[in-house]
Chains A and B, each alone.
Chain A
């Protein structure tokens, strides 16, 4: 007998949300139709206009690095899906070069782990890594908090976001998460095609690419997020200079040796170079890796043990499909760009 009551609440809440979305006042985490439930619990860190605005300021502010030269955006650029364009390994403070390629940042509310080895278990905690890494921002969390507490501008922004102007590590991390959570990409041509929007058809070439994708790639790069959030060894020959053992460095299990997190392929056209060490520049190089470059080893994924055979035309079609994952709304959304007061 409780049902009618709940329904009413849901309807009221629904209307409420429509109004909010319509007026565009408070930011919300959009869950597109057909997508799974997000892993991030926004109830614990509700998105607010002031919280997201603060996170955006912090994301673009080099104050977070020890010599105020590097911001999050130095390595995560909007125009390239928040990846580090053209750099195989990310460049940090004093031009120091990190161990890994900076991945794109999008739809992270669905991610269950972060970094290429999955060593970070929660989105909130990710920023501590670049901030404190000697090769990246080379700062301490305590000092960041101190600098922010000394800034009247930030005291005001923290007050607006949290109702208290005292800056703490927790609030810095929560507001960065709020901004990063709004970096959502679900309006690629592929999405419009899936939603059957008028005029949003894919070409015959792209459709053929989609078919090939579902045959060979979809078990790991699973639609609609284009990742299954798992870890796999996709047969990359080991870079003996870096000796990056991936997931095993976190779990210490030999069975995880050379496994890396399956990355999303959304906006993949712009997030080059590719792989954890940025070894490939072009999508065609990646496809050629899957057809001709797979290196056998104890932990090589089962599915990749059978060779993938594709004609040159099929490879071109597959790449054409991957380009339909480019979301221009996302790449040019003014809400995500450098904040100008």
Chain B
């Protein structure tokens, strides 16, 4: 019995002492702030879009962030492995994630993809945030939906005034993945601790570029999807 107890004690002690990170490494907690016109986004609530005098509400907003990298002085110093994060406006815990194993030091830029790259799209069944059960996958014309934005607006003369943007497609010339590099200030990673980094996406500008009366349904890889992907990429900023 004493033997068992001390064995448990040893295990517990070891677990307790196992450092979360290897020496020389820390982590970054990335928070994605979803907004509309500067305000935190509330799904289903009517919002006013002054650019076109439209009122609209957003019911679904989900997108992939992948291939996260941190740079300093133009040099990539860290690349997250297996880097796929599905951000969902409905799930607050999907809007914050920790990036582990980042070497300690200062960084001046973050790079990431909005969406998934072409290799990911042709690699068969994947798991985690890429699991095809998550509804971000097209079956008949295979590939990931990089970004889904659905809602309603009085400007749409569609059934229930609905608009649906499913932005995807990995084949040239209409690829929809977008690589972003955003400058960051004072991102210092310290051993054994986590540095916060907040990125904002504000959909107001996305809708400023669309006339919802004419563009309200994009469901296949196409030129329009690629243009909307450009617009969506422009909604991201670092605070």
Tell whether A and B belong to one assembly: yes
Chain A contacts to B: CB under 8 angstroms: 44-45, 115, 119-125, 128-129, 132, 140-142, 145, 168-171, 173-174, 177, 250, 252
20 contacts between A and B (CB under 8 A): A44-B124, A119-B141, A120-B140, A121-B122, A121-B143, A122-B125, A123-B124, A125-B124, A125-B125, A128-B137, A128-B139, A129-B140, A168-B131, A169-B133, A170-B130, A170-B132, A171-B127, A174-B124, A250-B141, A252-B220
* CB of B231, distance to nearest CB on chain A (Å): 21
A-B contact count (CB 8 A): 66
| Complexed CA–CA distance, A318 and B202 (Å) | 65
Which residue of B131, B133, B139, B220 is within 8 Å of A125 (Cβ)?
B139
B121 at the interface (CB under 8 A from A): yes
- By a CB distance below 8 angstroms, the chain A residues around B135 are 142
Interface size on B, residues (CB 8 A): 21
Contact call B123/A122, Cβ cutoff below 8 A: yes
- By a CB distance below 8 angstroms, the chain B residues around A123 are 124
B126 at the interface (CB under 8 A from A): yes
Which residue of A119, A141, A168, A177 is within 8 Å of B127 (Cβ)?
A168
- By a CB distance below 8 angstroms, the chain A residues around B122 are 121-122
Contact call B139/A132, Cβ cutoff below 8 A: yes
The answer to whether residues A124 and B139 also contact, given A145-B133, A168-B133, A252-B222 and a CB cut-off of 8 A, is no
Contact call A170/B127, Cβ cutoff below 8 A: yes
Q: Which residue of A lies closest to B139 (CB)?
A: A128
Chain B contacts to A: CB under 8 angstroms: 121-127, 130-135, 137, 139-143, 220, 222
- By a CB distance below 8 angstroms, the chain B residues around A169 are 125, 131-134
| Complexed CA–CA distance, A250 and B140 (Å) | 9
| Complexed CA–CA distance, A169 and B128 (Å) | 10
| Complexed CA–CA distance, A173 and B137 (Å) | 13
Counting from the closest, the 3 A-B pairs by CB-CB distance are A169-B133, A173-B125, A124-B124
**19 extra A-B contacts, CB within 8 A, seeds A122-B122, A125-B125, A174-B124:** A44-B124, A119-B142, A120-B139, A120-B142, A121-B122, A122-B124, A123-B124, A124-B125, A125-B124, A128-B139, A129-B140, A132-B139, A141-B133, A169-B134, A170-B125, A171-B127, A173-B132, A177-B124, A177-B125
| Complexed CA–CA distance, A208 and B127 (Å) | 51
- By a CB distance below 8 angstroms, the chain A residues around B133 are 140-142, 145, 168-169
| Complexed CA–CA distance, A121 and B142 (Å) | 6
| Complexed CA–CA distance, A122 and B144 (Å) | 13
The answer to whether residues A129 and B123 also contact, given A170-B131, A170-B132, A173-B132 and a CB cut-off of 8 A, is no
- By a CB distance below 8 angstroms, the chain A residues around B130 are 170
* CB of B172, distance to nearest CB on chain A (Å): 11
| Complexed CA–CA distance, A115 and B139 (Å) | 11
* CB of B188, distance to nearest CB on chain A (Å): 37
Most buried by A among B125, B130, B133: B125
- By a CB distance below 8 angstroms, the chain A residues around B124 are 44-45, 122-125, 173-174, 177
- By a CB distance below 8 angstroms, the chain A residues around B132 are 125, 128, 141, 169-170, 173
- By a CB distance below 8 angstroms, the chain B residues around A44 are 123-124
| Complexed CA–CA distance, A129 and B140 (Å) | 6
| Complexed CA–CA distance, A250 and B221 (Å) | 9
Q: Which residue of B lies closest to A41 (CB)?
A: B124
Contact call B126/A119, Cβ cutoff below 8 A: no
* CB of A335, distance to nearest CB on chain B (Å): 23
* CB of A226, distance to nearest CB on chain B (Å): 24
* CB of B123, distance to nearest CB on chain A (Å): 7
| Complexed CA–CA distance, A183 and B62 (Å) | 38
Most buried by B among A141, A145, A174: A141
| Complexed CA–CA distance, A333 and B199 (Å) | 57
| Complexed CA–CA distance, A72 and B127 (Å) | 23
| Complexed CA–CA distance, A125 and B136 (Å) | 13
- By a CB distance below 8 angstroms, the chain B residues around A129 are 139-140
Q: Which residue of B lies closest to A113 (CB)?
A: B142
Contact call B142/A170, Cβ cutoff below 8 A: no
- By a CB distance below 8 angstroms, the chain B residues around A170 are 125-127, 130-132
| Complexed CA–CA distance, A250 and B220 (Å) | 9
- By a CB distance below 8 angstroms, the chain B residues around A121 are 121-122, 142-143
Q: Which residue of A lies closest to B126 (CB)?
A: A170
* CB of B167, distance to nearest CB on chain A (Å): 16
* CB of B141, distance to nearest CB on chain A (Å): 5
- By a CB distance below 8 angstroms, the chain A residues around B222 are 252
Q: Which residue of A lies closest to B132 (CB)?
A: A169
| Complexed CA–CA distance, A106 and B139 (Å) | 21
Most buried by B among A44, A122, A123: A122
- By a CB distance below 8 angstroms, the chain A residues around B141 are 119, 250
| Complexed CA–CA distance, A140 and B140 (Å) | 14
| Complexed CA–CA distance, A168 and B128 (Å) | 9
